[in-house]
Amino acid sequence: MGIADLFGFGKKDKKPFRAPREVAALRTRIESELRENFPNIARYQEIVREAGLVHAMLNDIVLQKEYAEEAGRTQNELNKKLDTLTTKIKNNVREAKQESGQDYVENNMEYLERKNYRNKAKTLYTELLTLHERIMAYCSEGRQDSGRALESATAELTQISSSLNTHFFKVYSKDREIQGMREQSLVKISGLIHTLEENNARLEVNGLAAAARTSAQNLAEALKALSA
């Protein structure tokens, strides 16, 4: 061994490991499904197939030895993420079997997807109910400092109503549970308009007449959109 080799002078600097672009794409797909409450089995099966190809690429890198350690770490990272996704899928399927009380075909995601969009709709609907109670409180209390708060709460409620209508009520018009939320939203919004009109005189005394009128108009538009 020469002096240059002994002190490392003759060695070339090793370039940083650059994983195949398929690795980043696979990682993104897995993480995207993990963020879902009910990952899609069809997409999961595609991910498993894709993972097989990516692991084959990484195995080739391992065999070439120069970046064997880095490729091995990448494989372990992807395996852990995929294992987590697999566990989540299995748990969802098991729960679906228990709740449905009937034979459940694992590659049929209809039940889990229905549960997923219902949960998303319920989250928005719960926010709508919370705002409904807040607006009712403004009307009953009639505080002089609550005009802006009344308008703000109404604007937020109408925005949520629009989102529910666009993404759930119209899209899943045949889903009984979703349509039940729509019918109750109609009742709640109609009730708010009635309450604002019923308390108009008292709200006017407390300087809330303008805010009440604006709120009632916005709610009427939301009601019209839901009724269409």
Q: pTM, whole model, 2 decimals?
A: 0.54
Residue 219 class from Cβ within 10 Å (0-12 exposed, 13-18 middle, 19+ buried)?
Answer: buried
- Average pLDDT for residues 216-227, to the nearest whole number? 92
- Average pLDDT for residues 36-60, to the nearest whole number? 84
Give the pLDDT of residue 3.
Answer: 46
- Average pLDDT for residues 173-193, to the nearest whole number? 92
Is the confidence at residue 108, as pLDDT, over 70? no
Give the pLDDT of residue 57.
Answer: 86
Is the confidence at residue 114, as pLDDT, over 60? yes
Is the confidence at residue 10, as pLDDT, over 50? no
Query: What is the average pLDDT score of the chain?
Result: 82
Is the confidence at residue 106, as pLDDT, over 50? no
